[in-house]
Amino acid sequence: LAFAAPPPAQAQALGLDYQSLFGGGEEEADAPADGAAPADAAPADEDRERAPELAAYGAIEDFAETEASMVGRTTEGVSLFRQRLERVLREAPGGLQSMFAQLGEQSPDGTAGYFFGVAVLTVICLIIGRGVLGIVAIYVFLPMMISAQRGPPPVTLGDKMPVLLLRFGMTVVGDALMIAIAAGLGLYIASGHEPPTVTAGLILAGYGLYLLVDTIWRMILPYLSERRIPRIGDTRARRLYLWMTVAAFVGIASRTYVQWMREMGLTPELVTLNAIGAAALSLALTLLLTWRNSQTVTAMIFAGRAPHEAAWMTRVGALMWRPVVIVYMIVAFGEESFRQIMGLQTGTPLL
């Protein structure tokens, strides 16, 4: 530095001030003591706004990667749904012929009509069981019902329930007896071959479930007007009961049919196509039921009172139940159709 530095005169000519550059001299005497900051010193570094740390940049990068992966998974899901839907729709034109061909491979005689014969045989066994039930009902159940209905007319719900529960219990016992007799006959005849046995078992199970649901509706909406739980007339009660039992029969029969197709080993696309068709039929029937019996259900909500006499929550319920049911049914149909197309486990269906 000593050799490289210019002479003092030249440094002054150039406007260089060594003391301002390197300190020293009298100005150093005026410097504050160690540890003391000058009054007009600039703010400390920690008080200034700091730049983001490396961890912050890493968090931003992780968030961007997460967003990109979510978008990618959504795109893949949409593409997969479209591909599966296309495969299902391709089965529609020749679905019936394909179903008959696959059922022929499962039947012992090589024809799909064999399963129709199994269904007819199962119905005959049910008729035999129904005949035995009729004899038991005449000599056992009927005297019990006549004896239970003696006495003053029922007024409160507590007065109505004993007879209704007795009728419900006897009906369940009678239906179980009928199913047991039909199962004993049908499964004995069809024993030795798994497809016919599965077919007969599913028919009996579906019919038994329908009888249970029908018995529940008979308890709530009986033809005995003095023991009916909701306060509605005979005409409305019978119409609502018929609609409910038909809807239950169609829903249970269609689901039993779809389950039977799965058990028979039909292709997933063909099963999905039939499942969506069955769900669409149930949806249409339920919406039609809601439209045809809207006044009856509204009268049940008001429980025999005039609208101005009911509480505000009752009036809101009577006004909102129809749109709520319609929206729920449409959403349930869409959710179930999506699960069927994607091959997901449906569990308990919403529809």
The burial class, CB within 10 Å (0-12 / 13-18 / 19+), for 204 is: buried
Contacts 24+ apart (CB under 8 A), 133-139: 133/174, 133/175, 133/177, 133/178, 136/174, 136/177, 137/170, 137/174
DSSP class of 230: S
pLDDT of residue 97: 83
The whole-angstrom distance between residue 134's C-alpha and the CA centroid of its chain comes to 39
Residues whose CB is less than 8 angstroms from the CB of residue 196 and which lie 6 or more positions away in sequence, other chains included: 108, 114, 115, 118, 190
Q: What's the pTM? A: 0.72
The CA distance from 261 to 251, in Å, is: 16
- Helix, coil or strand: residue 231: coil
Query: What are the Cα distances from residue 131, in Å, to 100, 177, 203, 238, 284?
Result: 34, 11, 18, 26, 35
pLDDT tops 50 at residue 139: yes
For residues 235-239, average pLDDT: 89
pLDDT tops 60 at residue 51: no
Q: Which residue type occupies 24?
A: G
**Per-residue tokens: 211:** 């009888």
pLDDT of residue 92: 75
> Residue 207 — pLDDT band, cuts 50, 70, 90?
very high
Higher confidence at residue 349 or residue 35? 349
The burial class, CB within 10 Å (0-12 / 13-18 / 19+), for 317 is: middle
Residues whose CB is less than 8 angstroms from the CB of residue 208 and which lie 6 or more positions away in sequence, other chains included: 175, 176, 179
pLDDT tops 70 at residue 128: yes
Sign of CA dihedral 282, 78, 99, 90: positive
- Give helix 54-90 / helix 312-342 axis angle, nearest 10°: 80
Q: Which residue type occupies 129?
A: G
For residues 266-292, average pLDDT: 90
The CA distance from 16 to 39, in Å, is: 27
Given a contact cutoff of 8 angstroms between Cβ atoms, the answer to whether 154 and 148 are in contact is no
> Residue 61 — pLDDT band, cuts 50, 70, 90?
low
For residues 18-29, average pLDDT: 43
CB atoms within 10 A of CB 343: 13
pLDDT tens for 170-200 read 999 999 999 999 998 887 776 667 888 888 8
pLDDT tens for 295-327 read 999 988 988 788 888 888 999 999 999 999 999
For residues 162-168, average pLDDT: 89
**Average pLDDT over the chain, rounded to an integer:** 79
Given a contact cutoff of 8 angstroms between Cβ atoms, the answer to whether 149 and 135 are in contact is no
**Per-residue tokens: 135:** 């004899």
The burial class, CB within 10 Å (0-12 / 13-18 / 19+), for 180 is: middle
The burial class, CB within 10 Å (0-12 / 13-18 / 19+), for 249 is: middle
Cα angle: 48, vertex 52, 58; to 5 degrees: 165
Of 345, 342, 202, 199, nearest to 269 by C-alpha is 342
Q: List the end-to-end C-alpha distance of the chain, in Å, as a whole number.
A: 93
